Structure 1
Amino acid sequence: MSLSNSPRYFALIPAAGVGARMQADCPKQYLHIGGKSILQHSVNAFLRHAAIQHVFVVVSPHDAYVAQELLKDERLTVLFCGGETRADSVTNGLDAMAGQVDALDWILVHDAARPGLTPDLISRLIDQVGTDEVGGLLALPVVDTVKLQNLSASQHQVKTIPRAGLWLAQTPQMFRHRVLSDCLASAKAASFDITDEASAIEASRLIPQLVEGHWCNTKITRPDDLVLIDSYLAKLI
């Protein structure tokens, strides 16, 4: 594969989920922190980074919130092509943006519900991945003792497993447009369980780089997560 002499970077944020575990009245990406929606915070991290050419947000075709909860910007496009799964939304987004990007442009896929992302973390990912042919993602090395529970046994069994080499995946996950599109299509055709973009890359026997992230980039999944990130962002606003 030949590498681009002038790499370009685009953000793709799948935001078509409903966030059922938050037990909120609206999808969690539209809950507010510091007067802004969670989605707006996530988008702003990319808009504040000079290297990001454009930000694409993928929402449900019937989304009723984004027009009120996401400010317009000349570097921002909302795509109403969200799918049933995250992988479907990312695939649909990649297809929709194909006319505006090149095959070797970098796509930074980011969870809408990670509002603690900072431009510095984006820079760290871009700088450390560099011109790698595959790409990479932000992640955190596991520091706690890890327990494995076997629920299929006649009696629940628990054992400690070594944490050396274990990482918790975060986002953005940065891969070239053609590579990511091809790997997602191959993984889906093989009925592979696609839990994030890197898992699709790995299914094609490619090896992404792991770039150390930060706890502030935690994904909001449950109400307690919202309180934690609200406290962190309040210090920055």
Structure 2
Amino acid sequence: MQISFEAPRCYALVPCAGVGARAGAPGPKQYEMLAGRCVVAHTLSALAAVPRLTGTLVVLAPEDTQFEQAAPGYRGWVARVGGPSRAASVAAGLTALRERGVQPHDWVLVHDAARCLLRPEWVETLIDACFDDEVGGLLALPVADTLKEEIEGRAAGTLDRRAKWQAQTPQMFRLGLLQSALAHAGEAVTDEASAIEALGHRPKLVQGALENFKITYPQDFVLAERLLRTR
């Protein structure tokens, strides 16, 4: 008897339920305008240009009424199941993917809605590096600056920056493994890789780009606008 095994597919999951309080915007930062489009519209446009992504799911807050107007060209899946934390939103998004037929062995690339300078070729690089890996991995950058430990606003020590990397997204893991990892780690984790690490796995570090930063503070909008307009 011949047993067939369907090759894993790749899906993107974009948590888009946060409010981004540190960004100083009047509303959720993902809906602020940059270079003529909303932040999240830039993000989804880059993901749509990756041929190996079978589909994309955007996870929204249940009360969200802005998304369709902010991203009028988006034709992927939407689930208004976002929770109070990133981990909760991603976990709910994974369940929504399962309900749409995505299998436990399929790859899920979780990407921040506010990393709007994403380029399709960076996603392709991540897929190339992780598709045959046992665990999966993430885009990241080696730390170049000197790291300081702070106590009450003053430098209290210098940390060793060797072997230190700054995590980015997308972060690419199999749906089944990531579901188990998030259920085990709880809502305190700040990214998917840390949940995978808590299970004893070692995600692969794939070098990303300095331009793939996350809009977090008010000055980040100015830099992102400049970079988007000069591409």
* TM-score (normalised: structure 1): 0.91
Residue matched to 2:148 = 147
Q: Deviations over 1:155-199 (max 9, x none)?
A: 9661111110000000000000000001000112xxx73111001
Residue matched to 2:123 = 122
Is the deviation greater in 192-201 or in 7-16?
A: 192-201
| CA distance in structure 2 between the partners assigned to 1:112 and 1:86 by the alignment | 11
| CA distance in structure 1 between the partners assigned to 2:144 and 2:25 by the alignment | 31
Supply the AA of the counterpart residue of 1:171: T
| CA distance in structure 2 between the partners assigned to 1:69 and 1:128 by the alignment | 33
Residue matched to 1:43 = 44
Contact map agreement 2:197 2:203 (CA 8 A) in 1: yes
Contact map agreement 2:23 2:216 (CA 8 A) in 1: yes
Residue matched to 2:111 = 110
Residue matched to 1:58 = 59
Instruction: Say if 2:9 is the partner of 1:8.
Output: yes
| CA distance in structure 1 between the partners assigned to 2:15 and 2:168 by the alignment | 14
Give the C-alpha shift of residue 91 in structure 1.
0.4
| CA distance in structure 2 between the partners assigned to 1:123 and 1:78 by the alignment | 23
Residue matched to 1:91 = 91
Identical counterparts, % of pairs: 44
| CA distance in structure 2 between the partners assigned to 1:110 and 1:56 by the alignment | 10
SS of the equivalent of 1:216 reads coil
CA RMSD of aligned residues (A): 1.5
Residue matched to 2:77 = 77
| Structure 1 unmatched ranges of 5 or more | none
Supply the AA of the counterpart residue of 2:217: R
Give the C-alpha shift of residue 97 in structure 1.
1.1
Residue matched to 2:25 = 24
Supply the AA of the counterpart residue of 1:167: W
| CA distance in structure 2 between the partners assigned to 1:156 and 1:71 by the alignment | 47
Contact map agreement 2:13 2:59 (CA 8 A) in 1: yes
SS of the equivalent of 2:211 reads helix
Residue matched to 1:180 = 178
Residue matched to 1:208 = 203
| Structure 2 unmatched ranges of 5 or more | none
Structure 1 stretches (4+) deviating beyond 6 angstroms? none
| CA distance in structure 2 between the partners assigned to 1:204 and 1:63 by the alignment | 33
| CA distance in structure 1 between the partners assigned to 2:97 and 2:159 by the alignment | 42
Instruction: Describe the shift of the 1:203–1:194 C-alpha distance in structure 2 as closer, same or farther (beyond 3 A).
Output: same
Supply the AA of the counterpart residue of 1:11: A
Residue matched to 1:171 = 169
Q: Deviations over 1:38-65 (max 9, x none)?
A: 1011111110110011110001000021
| CA distance in structure 2 between the partners assigned to 1:113 and 1:137 by the alignment | 16
SS of the equivalent of 1:210 reads strand
Q: Which of 203, 218, 225 is 1:223 aligned to? A: 218
SS of the equivalent of 2:103 reads coil
SS of the equivalent of 1:217 reads coil
Provide the aligned length of Structure 1 versus Structure 2. Answer: 226
| CA distance in structure 1 between the partners assigned to 2:54 and 2:131 by the alignment | 17
SS of the equivalent of 1:183 reads helix
Supply the AA of the counterpart residue of 1:98: R
Give the C-alpha shift of residue 26 in structure 1.
1.4
| CA distance in structure 2 between the partners assigned to 1:20 and 1:83 by the alignment | 16
Give the C-alpha shift of residue 130 in structure 1.
2.9
* TM-score (normalised: structure 2): 0.94
